Amino acid sequence: MKYLITGGGTGGHIYPALAIAKEIKRKDKNAEILYVGTEKGLESELVPKEGFQFRTIRVKGMPRKINKESLIAIKELIHGINDAKKIIKDFRPNVVIGTGGYVCGPVVYMAKKKKIPALIHEQNAFPGITNKILSRYVDKVAVTFDEAKKYFKYPDRVLNTGNPIRKEILEINKEEAYKVLDIDKNIPFVLSFGGSGGQKTLNDAMYYFIKESMGKGDIQIIHVTGKRFYDEFIDRLKKDNINLNKNIRVFPYLYQIPEAINIATLVVTSSGAITLAEISAVGVPSILIPKSYTAENHQEFNARAFENKGASILVLEKDIKENTLNDIIYSVIQDKERLAQMASKSKKLGKIDASERIVELINTIVK
């Protein structure tokens, strides 16, 4: 069978698409998979590395206001529809799967014009504009949050499958993780990171928390700044004569995030869909600081969904003061009963078989 998968722009759209592609291949080694993205998008780097056939179309994001860029975007959209039409004609897929981003628009729309079964996956609690439009045409809509259902015109087509995650997050040997990261299992361990690119507000808040925690032996901290913020963060520590030690470490990037999540007492992070899927798959309590500048402010909607279920504490960027995190973190890690309750509720939100659920849903729409 032939599967055409499309999704791009950010890792939040690309990684779920790749997880679905891998699950399709796991279940059907003879499956033919074509991934359609854009030439300049992150998908053009990630997809070929995973060994999947990759083709591109021309498309640009539509500005919120009508201006010169709007005309360019409309012109590119017309090109994109023609590109998608040609790719679909050449590949002749049995089904098309979209995971969000502007690239999905022309591809999924054209598939439905050709009467090809199609499914989209929405990662966030507040759907992106492309998926909201496409939901009117596709056969099924897979979502990660129940809160997203009300934004789609045809709720009978919507099913909560969860968000696909990398399998290694579930295969971590915790005893080995403690050794690899040099973490003492008897002392609370706080892991903080602002998504793959870092987050300035979270960095500022964690700076003060680290400053206040120096010299204390009752806490362990690993803070990941993001590569673009690392030098500035370290220079700031040096300026204030703060010398990090074994218990408090700062990194620009951490390849052992799966290990760290699995053994963390508490995670302080932004609220991207992939991060939330991973911490809930493991069942980790969290403090969420949604990035206020994301499209449609979707991270705040994600964070509120977790807060409403009792899995997380939500702190908005605008509400963060110098000592905001100090008080919250210490109040949580010193309350073992509260930690246990948050961990349990986090685990209940996790869907470790999201990829399998989505592939099963795909099979139901293919005649």
15-61 pLDDT, tens per residue? 999 999 999 999 999 999 999 999 988 899 999 999 999 999 988 66
pLDDT confidence tier of residue 73, bands split at 50, 70 and 90? low
What's residue 139's pLDDT? Answer: 97
**β-sheet bridge partners, residue 251:** 224
Q: Which domains does the chain have, with CATH numbers?
A: 2-165+352-365 (3.40.50.2000), 168-349 (3.40.50.2000)
Q: Residue 93: which pLDDT band, with cuts at 50, 70 and 90?
A: very high
Q: Is the pLDDT of residue 64 over 60?
A: no
- Predicted model pTM: 0.89
pLDDT (average), residues 95-108: 95
pLDDT at 168: 87
Mean of per-residue pLDDT scores for the chain:
92
Write the DSSP string, 218-273.
Answer: S-EEEEE--HHHHHHHHHHHHHTT---BTTEEEES--TTHHHHHHH-SEEEE---H
Tokens 């690239």 correspond to 103
How confident is the model at residue 98, as a pLDDT? Answer: 97
Give residue 164's pLDDT band: very low, low, confident or very high (50, 70, 90): very high
Q: End-to-end alpha-carbon separation of the chain, Å?
A: 11
C-alpha–C-alpha distance, residues 169 and 354, integer Å: 14
Residue 170 identity (one-letter amino acid)? L
- Mean pLDDT for the stretch of residues 8-19: 91
Mean pLDDT, range 231-237, rounded to an integer: 96
pLDDT in the model for residue 174: 97
